[in-house]
Structure 1
Amino acid sequence: MIRLIDHVNIATDKLEETRDFFVEVLGLEEGPRPDFGFEGHWLYAAGRPIVHLQKARGPVVPSRESVLNHAAFEVGDLDALAAQLDAHGVAYRMIEMPGAPVRQIFLEDPNGVMVELNSPRPL
């Protein structure tokens, strides 16, 4: 039985730009990656490689044009992350989830992958 999501993989023709976005803007850390024989990066949070990047073999489309719509991550301080997004000029939408103690930010990475950031809010 599935217990949790282990990682997401993004195939991109903007490999370095995507790595920089997830590291410099969203705060992941680049770490070890096996030599698969093709370009890529593994990005870590709390010691786990949760975002895998690989060089795309062909054209890619934004997630809004794909059956897999978005990737979601839990964050500790949504306000600090919003300030980081503002500092980097990244457009986003912040909402309070109706009926749940969660605030969310939605944004797109450099490839048009929709990213959801969730943070608990006090009741």
Structure 2
Amino acid sequence: MHIDHFNISAPAKILTEDKKFLCEVFDLVEGWRPKLSQHGYWLYYKDKVLIHLIESNDHYRNEKQGYLDHIAFRLSGLNKLIKTLKILSTEYSIKYSAERDMTQVFFETPSGVGLEAIFLKENIDE
């Protein structure tokens, strides 16, 4: 089994912000999407659709976080990600595990979806 994609459903303005943010942070591109009843976008990493963005006025940001805490991606290019998050004025936190030689970066999309970027054997340039 593997995860096929994850979906964010939000009003159109928020979806546009999330699309721009996700494309800039993860080097994703908007790609082919079938004709569906709701407006939206499919974001691809290389040739694989990874994120579905669906326009919905029935979904809204909760004041309290639900049980799903975050979605994690294993990446390379830690310093590039930090630079991009700074340019986008995105708050983030960093944890380092010496035992695993792993750096974790936690942040949120404009719509509030929690994300984690995992970097093995990469450290932040000082």
Q: TM-score, normalised by structure 2?
A: 0.85
Residue 8 of structure 1 is matched in structure 2 by 6
1:109 Cα deviation after fit: 0.5
Residue 68 of structure 2 is matched in structure 1 by 68
1:9 Cα deviation after fit: 0.6
Deviates more, 1:52-61 or 1:79-88: 52-61
RMSD: 1.8
Give the aligned residue type for 1:75: L
**1:23 correspondence with 2:15:** no
Deviations 1:49-87 (A, max 9, x none): 111111123142259611221111111111111111111
- 2:2 alignment partner, SS class: coil
Question: Structure 2, unaligned stretches of length 5 or more?
Answer: none
1:8 Cα deviation after fit: 0.8
- Count residues with an aligned counterpart: 120
Q: TM-score, normalised by structure 1?
A: 0.87
CA distance in 1 between counterparts of 2:85 and 2:119 reads 15
Runs of 4+ off more than 6 Å: none
Residue 97 of structure 2 is matched in structure 1 by 97
